[in-house]
């Protein structure tokens, strides 16, 4: 890595660090805690009964021994693990706006990771293409989160393709306990329905779908050679033709809606992110919707 690229990388990491901590402190910290509960309740202590205590919490053994009513006190077992499964296939380098899909993924990981460590949760990372390229075990602390962000921003994948089932299968081998899992991808893959269904049973799986606007709506720019960055396949499209543009846009939007329907069928929450708009409103909407659902 050249000195300039290293400096640019540190600058991006620092920007994500500053923005993420500010947003977490002001907006997401409390939202995260209320939505992602701990693993359950653990025993803390026995104390003397006070008016208003639940009768069901009375410890009858201690009460009989002391002759005074005592209750058991429990606290939420808060600590849990959060995993990012980040798709770093070649299609993630595409960007028609200020940021590529991979840069957007790094920012999202930063926000969610800082929310996690603020609530004493561990954070882990799996980077994948059509194979597993990096695994970072879950850990706590700001330096650990910055390490994860730096890895995503600077990572140079060996492969170009995408294999979502491979990533979910690897998660199953490495993580046996139920954990919160963010699958971050543009989902330019196929035959992943079964893997999604199984993962949704074993983990709290949330799909973050990242889309560039030009993947849904091609503009009139004349004769254009479109290349699939993952397969290398190229096609020539006359975008000056209204018929050609309409066909492309209909196909792209149908694929987008099909993915949305697939995730809903398996009860997998989706955060639909576009690189041309502020994703904070999408994140906050997700947290608020999920919290409302949990209180019903």
Tell me whether residue 272 is in a domain: yes
| pTM, entire model | 0.80
Bridge partners for 122 per DSSP: 81
CATH at residue 100: 3.40.50.410
Q: Look at the chain and report how many structural domains it folds into.
A: 2
Same domain, yes or no, for 49 and 182?
no
Domain-ending residue, one of 25, 52, 77: 77
Query: Which sign does the torsion angle of CA 18, 19, 20, 25 carry?
Result: positive
Domain that holds residue 201: 79-213+263-290
Domain-ending residue, one of 52, 77, 102: 77
Tell me whether residue 241 is in a domain: no
Per the document, the length of the chain is 296
Domain-ending residue, one of 23, 48, 77: 77
**pLDDT attached to residue 278:** 87
Same domain, yes or no, for 67 and 144?
no
Same domain, yes or no, for 83 and 73?
no
Mind listing the pLDDT tens digit for each residue in 168-198? 999 999 998 888 999 999 999 999 999 999 9
**pLDDT attached to residue 74:** 62
Same domain, yes or no, for 136 and 154?
yes
Tell me whether residue 112 is in a domain: yes
Instruction: Give the distance between the most distant pair of CA atoms in the chain.
Output: 89
Find all residues with CB under 8 Å of 4, minimum gap 6, and list them. none
Same domain, yes or no, for 276 and 146?
yes
Tell me whether residue 179 is in a domain: yes
Tell me whether residue 245 is in a domain: no
Same domain, yes or no, for 49 and 142?
no
Same domain, yes or no, for 64 and 94?
no
Residues of the chain below pLDDT 70: 1-6, 26-30, 37-44, 74-79, 225-229, 232, 295-296
Same domain, yes or no, for 69 and 189?
no
Tell me whether residue 188 is in a domain: yes
Tell me whether residue 27 is in a domain: no
Q: HEC string of the chain?
A: CCHHHHHHHHHHHHHHHHHHHHHHHHHHHHHHHHHCCCCEEEEEEEEECCCCCCHHHECHHHHHHHCCCEEEEEEEECCCEEEEEEECCHHHHCCCCCCCHHHHHHHHHHHHHHHHHHCCCEEEEEEECCCEEEEEEEECCHHHHHHHHHHHHHCCCCCCCCCHHHHHHHHHHHCCCCCEEEEEECCCCCCCHHHHHHHHHHCEEEEEEEECHHHCCCCCCCEEEEECCCCCCEEEEECCCHHHHHHHHHHHHHHHHHHHHHHHHCCCEEEEEECCCCCHHHHHHHHHHHHHHHHC
Tell me whether residue 268 is in a domain: yes
């Amino acid at each position: 890595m050249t000195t300039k690229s290293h400096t640019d990388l540190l600058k991006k990491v620092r920007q994500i660090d500053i923005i993420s901590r500010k947003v977490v402190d002001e907006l997401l910290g409390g939202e995260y805690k209320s939505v992602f509960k701990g693993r359950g309740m653990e025993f803390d202590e026995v104390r003397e009964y006070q008016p208003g205590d639940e009768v069901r919490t009375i410890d009858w053994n201690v009460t009989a021994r002391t002759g005074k009513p005592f209750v058991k006190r429990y606290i939420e077992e808060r600590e849990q693990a959060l995993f990012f499964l980040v798709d770093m296939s070649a299609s993630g380098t595409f960007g028609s706006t200020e940021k590529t899909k991979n840069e957007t993924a790094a920012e999202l990981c930063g926000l969610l990771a800082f929310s996690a460590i603020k609530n004493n949760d561990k954070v882990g990372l799996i980077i994948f293409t059509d194979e597993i390229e990096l695994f970072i075990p879950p850990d706590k602390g700001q330096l650990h989160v910055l390490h994860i962000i730096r890895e995503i921003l600077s990572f140079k994948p060996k492969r170009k393709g995408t294999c979502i089932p491979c990533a979910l299968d690897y998660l199953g081998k490495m993580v046996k306990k139920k954990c919160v899992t963010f699958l971050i991808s543009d989902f330019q893959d196929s035959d992943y329905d079964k893997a999604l269904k199984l993962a949704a049973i074993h983990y709290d799986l949330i799909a973050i779908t990242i889309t560039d606007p030009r993947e849904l709506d091609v503009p009139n720019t004349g004769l254009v050679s479109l290349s699939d960055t993952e397969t290398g396949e190229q096609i020539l499209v006359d975008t000056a033709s209204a018929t050609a543009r309409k066909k492309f846009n209909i196909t792209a939007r149908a694929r987008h809606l099909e993915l949305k329907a697939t995730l809903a069928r398996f009860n997998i929450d989706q955060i639909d992110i576009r690189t041309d708009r502020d994703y904070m409103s999408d994140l906050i909407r997700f947290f608020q919707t999920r919290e409302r659902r949990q209180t019903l």
